[in-house]
Structures are given as C-alpha cells and as structure tokens.
Amino acid sequence: MERYPNINILLNLPESYIPKAEFVFRTFCYILRLNPKFIYGAHFEAAHIYYGPGPSRDYPVRIQFENETADFFEKRELYPLEKVNFCSFKNHHLPFLFSLGGPIFSFSTESCILRKDIVAGGFYFLTCWHEYIL
C-alpha cells in the first residue's frame, strides 16, 4: 500500500483491543486508499488520528474511546439493544454502539472530535459479532 498516502494513527488502547482497532482502521484505510501507520502510546506529535481515552493534547482527529469497550469484547456477549444510540445525521437515523448520547461531532480550534466510537461499532458489524458469539 506504499503508493497511497500515509496516515499516522495513534492507538492508546488496552493491548487485547489493539488488533481489533487495527483491523477496522486497515479496512477503512483500504476503502479510502490510505496507508495506515500505527503508533502506540499516549502521545505522538505527528499523529493524524488519535484513538483512545481523552488525550492531554489535541490531534487533528480524535475518536472517543471508553475502557469498558475493550472489556465488552472479552466477555463475548451481544450488544444490548437498549444501549444502541440513534443519532440524526442528514435526515437519517444512524445507530451508534459503544457511545453516549449527544452530538456526533464536537470541534475545537485544533481538532475534530468524533464522539461516537465508530471503530468499536465497526468491529462489531464488520466481524458479524452477533453471529460469532451465538
């Protein structure tokens, strides 16, 4: 994939959850024709995307992550329907898993924060998790 532009993705996640996040980012990057470069830890100056708990600095794109998400996938259970969060976006109701209520995005002068965990939800749907555990 070297012919595609590189994108630096900083993963600040529990070790058991990293392969799941990498799978989703690789899938998204393949579709978008990007070459993901993964960096691990709490800080990397040249990161384009940060995925993890609230960082101490801004990154161009930040995807919100809750530690309970990694625990969910270790338990191997169905996602509770009552926790599905539907948000309206361009006249469509979109389901978000592993996310709290409220707006999809928030913005600062330096970054866009994606308040819905599209990586965890992406893993759930891309792997057909509900079929895998039944």
State residue 57's pLDDT score.
86
State residue 24's pLDDT score.
98
pLDDT band at 1; cut points 50, 70, 90: very low
Compare 2 and 52 and report the one with higher pLDDT.
Answer: 52
Domain boundaries, the chain: 6-133
> For residues 134 and 117, what is the distance between their CA atoms, to the nearest angstrom?
24
State residue 132's pLDDT score.
80
Percent of the chain with pLDDT over 70: 99
DSSP for 3-17, please give it.
Answer: TSPEEEEEE---GGG
State residue 51's pLDDT score.
98
Q: What is the mean pLDDT of residues 66-82?
A: 93
Q: What is the mean pLDDT of residues 43-66?
A: 93
Predicted TM-score (pTM) of this structure? 0.91
Q: What is the mean pLDDT of residues 31-53?
A: 97
